[in-house]
Structure 1
Amino acid sequence: MKPLMCLQDVFDEYGHFFPLNVVLGKSLKNILPNSLPYNSEKIDLGTVSVDSLKSHLDKLNISYLLTEKGDVIDKNNLSNWIQNTNDDLEVIEFENIISLHRILEIEQQKKIDVILNRKGNLKIIMTGIDELKDLDINNTEHYKRINIEPSLEDEDYEVFGSVISKDNLKSEDFLVTFGLYDLNGFSAMIKSSRNKDIDITECYILWMIIGNPSKLSIFSPSNREFQVDYIKKSILLQSNNSYYPIKTSYKLPEGCTISVNAYCSTANYEPLNIRIKLVGWSEDCIYFQIFETNLGNTLIISDDSDQLTSIEITICVLYSNYENLKIDNKKVEYSLDLIGCILTENTKVIPFSKFFPLIS
């Protein structure tokens, strides 16, 4: 779960870089004053005799040279020193330097590139599923604390998820939002219907954390291949329209998964009566129906502009060729449509007038 720390241990032991070519030889040096009466020139020592080299040293007023180890070589003893170089060669220069992991097989390189995440892309950090059997079936508002292991090293992350039934179906009888993030976990705020046929204690909450692995120092191996995009917008709910288009800065392909979390600053992390439903999409826009509800699909948005609700909506876009999400704390897999809505050809739309202006 902490691959960056493991990689750092390897780099600390073997270094970060590897030279493809190593130049061996011997070297001598001396420290010259800043100003010299003699004009500098490049000398090819391969074609210069020892006597000629001495004459150049005389022009520079150099009587001795130093080896890499600090030994003093008198200019009159250069001939003997050169004759003995073949017995004790040194590394003169490293050429064609590459990152250490580039010496591995291609597939291993790709896996390490994902872990290094040099562009700072968001990733699926961790996933889980937790029972809700400790909740009170007589309540309609619930708080579920989710503790995670190992702990994160930063609170800059987002959580998305849903309530699913014992039959592994996404339940529309519950509204769930996530908040109160800290290093050791987060809370799920759940609003349930008054439908007595639905027992919340027999349900589960499915969740995933997204963030920057470098900041959080945690990166589960389960879903590393997923590409993740993230959008955060503030929306003022309107009484005369419940449809809201949100523009993306990239093209949306068919098959990606959209998950949503919402937060209302005036609700103080209480369970929300707000349902967010994806009703369509185009190449650069996602269309939502957002309305306050009593879980009976009855709109209760006030006509009073002073009482209109403002919400923060966060959207996670998952791109993958996989159909399932691997769950870390249970070692099982669940279909992506249980944690979000999958964009299909049937839900692709052409923008129409009932939508409010684009939120970008």
Structure 2
Amino acid sequence: MTTDDGPTGVHPTDGSHSLLSKEPAATGPQQPNPGNSSKRERPKTILALMEYAYSEAGRKLNLSRKDIFELSVRPEDEQAETDTVRQLAGRDLLFAVPPALLSSLAELGSETLVRRRVLDLVVVAFASHKLFEGRIEHLTEQQPLKRLTAEEVNRAAKQVRFSDLGLKDESEFTDAGRERLRTNAVTALELFRVLRDRWTSRQFIEDMSATVWDAPALPSAYKTAAVLATARNTEALSQVSRHFESVLRDSKRETEKAISQAREQELRAIRAEGLGNRLATDLEKVRADAAELAARANELELRLSVEQSNRVVDKSHHVDDYEALRTQVIRRLATQAELLGDGLHALRHGSTGVAEEFVDRALTAIGGEVTRLKELDGGVQ
């Protein structure tokens, strides 16, 4: 991290660490140093770009879109680029250069090959800092759930010690220095995610709001107005405002949708309750009808049982009556058959009068028996 007066985050080459204890005027990439901007030769290669970025020590890079798009990727320089970044990043104790470099790349755009190579070298810078030791694999992880998060970096930066940075005295790593390191590390990670992993502005702003732009609300409207009115970068404030306006609109839309759905569910519940009441009434009626039918069924079953019992008795009586009647009919018919036989015998021997008497007696007896049987069957037919 730097101020307009010069770098405050890069370890000087003479072994002194006094710059780490200076209080910064602001966080984030600072305005470019105008002193040498007109004389400086524009970087033509990736190696020159990295050397220039580290020479600015965290200040905003004075580059144009043309400068970035004229950069060339030279495969023969890859090892030299890696070695140079590893050497320079080792002195960038507050990790001030990566966020400045990545913000310029995000602002100006670049060819795909240039962007990929710069991001690869930024990974080298990440790997060269103690804060990211053991975390590089998660930094470049493709699966979102396994990636290094801003919260993890934020927490690690709060716990880093002066000895972790190779400093000999605790006074060389003040609270302000720790805060600059935390801000730079999280900002660099978030810019890296946007450029490499295609994060949306919403993801970027939400993470930054949770970890970097996390100052508590001021208790006074005067102070709040003063801070906002004197902010240097009104475009940044505008972007954040537009983001939260969009979030608010989305939230309002979701709230209205939720209210509408709640009302719809309430109406459904009312209709369901009414239907439930009607069904309960119908069920009670059906139960009453079922109880009535069950009672009638029991009654009919009882009556059937009685009738069946009576039928058994009647059948027994009918069988007895039938047997008695059968015996009577057989006996009487046998008598009349015998009488007719006698009449036939008399007729054959010429006793016509006797035969007529026998036949008349037999017919009279048979007729009487027929009449009696008809009366037993319900009346004369």
Decide: shared fold, TM above 0.5.
Answer: no
TM-score interval, smaller chain: under 0.3
More helix by share: 2
Q: If the length of structure 2 is used for normalisation, what is the TM-score?
A: 0.23
Larger RCO (CA within 8 A; separation ≥ 6): 1
- Max radius of gyration: which structure? 2
Q: If the length of structure 1 is used for normalisation, what is the TM-score?
A: 0.23
